[in-house]
Structure 1
Amino acid sequence: MLSLAMTSPTEESHFTLCPLKLMGIGWCPGCGLGHSIIYLFHGDISNSFRAHWLGIPAVAVIFNRIYVLIKARLMERNQFKSLT
């Protein structure tokens, strides 16, 4: 998430491993989702929605998952400390 937040939202050409881009297809759902998240982190909500409409919900789901995992890890540590 941090790397997406620090990436430039401009459409500069760069090295890619995307098979659709390598075949010359202009739009890829995976790349569109990444661009959507980048635009969202830079505050450009309209371009975020234009790049991929699931970008905004994906960020909410990812941050929720990060929160749940951190909370579970902290609870696990607290239970381990109480046993010792």
Structure 2
Amino acid sequence: MKKGIKHIPVEAIIWIAALIYLAFISPEEPHFTLCPLKNLNFHFCPGCGLGQSISLAFHGHFIASLKAHPLGIFAIMVLSFRVITLLKTQFITTNN
């Protein structure tokens, strides 16, 4: 098991960490951001809207999620599929 954990692809770790972060933050409250548009006080940023949409979906606010960004729920599915594919590919090639 230790051998497998050491070989988890960095991309998978980044996506897992991002999804966990979005699942645990409160989408209604302001939070730390690296977004240059948000930091310059622009009120609309497609990337921030997507992150907020994902966070809202994780909290069960699906209508608000679709209003924040229509692709938020789709992004969760795509990122989840990507993580599963990365892990599956890594562990199939490692175990053979």
Q: Structure 1-normalised TM-score?
A: 0.84
Aligned residue in 2 for 1:82: none
User: How far is 1:69 from its partner?
Assistant: 0.7
Letter in 1 for 2:93: E
Task: Count how many residue pairs are aligned between Structure 1 and Structure 2.
Answer: 78
Aligned residue in 2 for 1:9: 27
Residue 53 (structure 1) aligned to one of 65, 70, 73: 70
The unaligned stretches of length 5 or more in structure 1 are 80-84
Classify the secondary structure of the residue corresponding to 1:53: coil
Aligned residue in 1 for 2:35: 18
Instruction: State the structure with more CA Rg.
Output: 1
User: How far is 1:15 from its partner?
Assistant: 3.6
Identity of aligned residues (%): 47
Poorly superposed stretches of 4+, deviation over 6 Å: none
Root-mean-square deviation (CA), in Å?
Answer: 1.2
CA distance in 2, matches of 1:4, 1:13: 13
The unaligned stretches of length 5 or more in structure 2 are 1-18
1:31-50 pair list within 5 angstroms: 31-50=48-67
